[in-house]
Amino acid sequence: MLFDENNFDYSFFDLSNLNFPDNKKFMMNDKLVSSKEGFMRGNMFANEYVPYKNLTYRELRPKNEREELLYKVMEMSFAINDLNLYLDLHPDDRDMYEKFKSYTEKYLSLKDEYAKKYGPLCLEETSSNNYEWYKNPWPWDNGGDMYV
């Protein structure tokens, strides 16, 4: 039997009778965990994390200043990406947008600090007078000790 568009019941897709929580009632402080915890568990939202088979995440432990700074850059990058996904669906949530902007400022500052101390993380970063992208080791080469 072929699909007959004229006789299809679209009422199944009507979501107007569902009770979705009002964003104003659901305060940001109740929504988010810290950027560190969100990065470790892979989710910034307090009520959205469900561990797989009761497994727990393991805290990464940077071994030196370079690893610690890279970890903070990755943490902020994760936070802004996770908040970005939320804001795609809730563009009018001003509190969350302000948090997003705050994390973005921290991320850019940390990334700039890392590039000045240890070299560029991204191709477009040119903080020195010479082209340094080709120089090894890159941040992800050698010394991924904090993942062991």
pLDDT for position 31: 85
> What is the arithmetic mean of pLDDT over 19-40?
67
Question: Is pTM, for the whole model, over 0.75?
Answer: no
Pairwise pLDDT comparison (42 vs 13), residue with the higher score: 42
Per-residue pLDDT at 15 exceeds 60: no
- 3-state SS of 106-121 is HHHHHHHHHHHHHCCC
Give the start-to-end residue ranges of the domains of the chain. Answer: 25-45+59-121
Question: What's the pLDDT tens digit per position in 96-148?
Answer: 999 999 999 999 999 999 988 888 887 766 656 776 666 666 666 655 555 54
pLDDT for position 118: 85
pLDDT for position 26: 43
pLDDT for position 59: 80
Question: What's the pLDDT tens digit per position in 52-97?
Answer: 888 787 888 888 999 999 999 999 999 999 999 999 999 999 999 9
Pairwise pLDDT comparison (12 vs 23), residue with the higher score: 12
